[in-house]
Structure 1
Amino acid sequence: MNIAMLAVMCEQKKPYWDNITLKGQSLRKYFPQSYTPLQIEKIIYRLLDQWAAGQQKKAG
């Protein structure tokens, strides 16, 4: 077997979800124009934390 082929076959792949990208244009409709990208990011993570906590309550 060719060394290059072996290297490709043994290569560790990143999980597909490492490539998630949210477009600013799509998100802007949910936030006031005055919000900075950092403010938007913090709000999204806070909402995701709340959602995850709700999922845990449902499961347990």
Structure 2
Amino acid sequence: MNTPATVACGDLDVSFLVARSRELADRLPYGRHQLLPSMAHLPQLENPAAVAGVITDVIAG
């Protein structure tokens, strides 16, 4: 995949999922890992505004 991609994960999620999300981002040629502070497994429900901010940043480049 040669398109920039952001892999986001809550920093309070279970450790193996945080590690896997970082691994996925590292494997992508243009991958970026984004830890979402004070969020767990469902950041889009826990803090929709923060997730929207990440998406906006990705779109803006």
Q: Same fold (TM over 0.5)?
A: no
Give the structure with the larger helix fraction: 1
Which structure shows the higher strand fraction?
2
Normalising by structure 2, report the TM-score. Answer: 0.30
Q: Which has the higher contact order (CA 8 A, sep 6+)?
A: 2
